[in-house]
Amino acid sequence: MKRTLALGGLVATAGLLAAGLAAPAQAAGKGWAKDNMAATNPAALQVIKYWRGERASNFENATPYAVETKVAAKHISKGGPSADSKPGVVAAIGDEKKSSSTSKNVNLPKTTGKVFFRGADGKPHWCSATSVQSTYHNLVATAGHCVYDTQSNKATMDYWVFVPGYYQGKTPWGIYVGKTAYTHYDYDVYEDGDRDYAFVTVYNGVLPSWEKRKLVVKDVGRLGDNVGGQGLAYNQKIGSAVYVFGYPSGSHPDGNHAFSGKTLKWSYGKTFAATAPAIKGEELQGVKSSFTGEGSLGSAWLLQYKSARRLGYLNGVTIGVSDTDGNDRYDTSVSPYFDGETYGVYNAAKSNWTGKITAQ
């Protein structure tokens, strides 16, 4: 992949993943690009060894990713994003048939977790992410710059994995190594903020251990079979209410350390049209949220979230936060607007088989 700029149940219905091994992007000529991550079993094993070494784990050393977290966003009343075709949705895993169950509480989704990777600084970092519906139950969605290395422009991040439900070194549903990343062509080439999202296919999850100085990997099955997968919504009306789920960390500009990044948090609000010219974001959507930027990159924006089933429709991912009123407190999260071209990227990613990781 080359960069030219660096800026510091599947039915659509109307109504609503190793260091040094990434290959050049393959542009399909249809608005999306594909990059190999850990494309082979040996490469995937090297990723596991990086995170679960014989003597130490890099998970505990990882820090929230702090690249391009703060943006100068504006709430706009005219212009902004617009649908490029009819509204559409893809049902969540297990929710292909309509459910009428309700809950008065906000039950946190099992699909959310953290993506871990080694950044351009050679250190381990993490972002927020979520599992989404796909043919083989093996797809993760997050911010584009939590997958693509915008600092060194050398394609995808090294040692990329997804860990749903991660908490203080524990990986309750396993570790899922990224195999192939898909993004919009305009983000792959130009780092267009309006297209700062990515879908990553992952191998079956594993629970690794060391026996007699040899890595042993226990297969725990497919991601979507273990934690489910959110649906996808695109070309939805601005002004829709969404829940935002992520792992914010770090401080507000005034120094207040509001979030630890250790536990999943949520916020709720209605989307509005926004711009952030510094990141080439002319057609973004925003939502009022107190999330700080570090750690919250990649947070899932879920439309029509059903708390009883912990499922909804992914309708955005956080790509930055903003202090729009100048009081030194972040008050807004921003995301690309998911339109038909977003669905095109998702459609390219959704039906790619990945399989198991086996120890050699």
The amino acid occupying position 202 is V
For the four alpha carbons of 199, 205, 209 and 211, in that order, the dihedral sign comes to negative
C-alpha closest to that of 64 among 314, 259, 281: 259
Architecture label for domain 26-349: Beta Barrel (2.40)
Q: Across the strands, what pairs with 63?
A: 125
Q: Record the tokens describing residue 59, joined without a space.
A: 């998970």
Q: Checking DSSP bridges between strand 197-202 and strand 176-184, what pairing results, if any?
A: antiparallel
Strand partners, 245: 266, 300
Judged by average pLDDT, the poorest of 117-126, 151-160, 259-268, 333-342 is: 151-160
Residue among 251, 242, 257, 293 nearest 109 (CA): 242
What six digits make up the tokens of 217?
A: 């990997």
Q: Which residues contact 117 (CB under 8 A, 6 or more apart)?
A: 124, 125, 126, 146, 147, 157, 158, 159, 160, 161
How many Å apart are CA 23 and CA 180, to the nearest integer?
Answer: 10
- Residue 360: which pLDDT band, with cuts at 50, 70 and 90? low
Query: pLDDT tens digits for 143-160?
Result: 999 999 888 777 899 999
Residue located via tokens 């394609």 = 155
The stretch 4-14 carries a mean pLDDT of 30
- The answer, yes or no, to whether residue 12 has pLDDT greater than 80, is no
Nearest to 272 by CA among 229, 335, 342: 335
Compute the distance between CA of residue 90 and CA of residue 199 in angstroms, rounded to an integer.
15
Instruction: Please work out, in degrees rounded to the nearest 5, the angle formed at the alpha carbon of residue 191 by the alpha carbons of 151 and 183.
Output: 105
Residue 168 binned pLDDT confidence (cut-offs 50, 70, 90)? confident
Counting residues of the chain whose pLDDT is more than 70, the rounded percentage is 84
Question: What is the residue whose two structure tokens read 């050699």?
Answer: 360
Among 165-169, 220-224, 273-277, name the most confident range.
220-224
Q: Quick one: pLDDT at residue 19?
A: 34
pLDDT digits (tens, 9 = 90+) for 105-141: 899 999 999 999 999 999 999 999 999 999 999 999 9
Structure tokens at 265: 């948090």
Residue 11 has pLDDT above 90, yes or no: no
Could you report the per-residue pLDDT of 65-109, keeping only the tens digit for each?
A: 988 776 665 565 555 666 666 776 888 887 666 544 455 589 999
Q: Is the dihedral of CA 311, 289, 266, 67 positive or negative?
A: positive
Secondary structure (3-state) at 303 = strand
The mean pLDDT value of the chain amounts to 86
* Per-residue pLDDT, 25: 52
pLDDT of 18 higher than 60? no
Is pLDDT larger for residue 162 or for residue 83?
162
Q: What percent of the chain has pLDDT over 90?
A: 68
Distance CA(139)–CA(350), nearest Å, equals: 7
Query: If pLDDT is split at 50, 70 and 90, which confidence band does 198 have?
Result: very high
Domain range summary for the chain, segments of one domain joined by +: 26-349
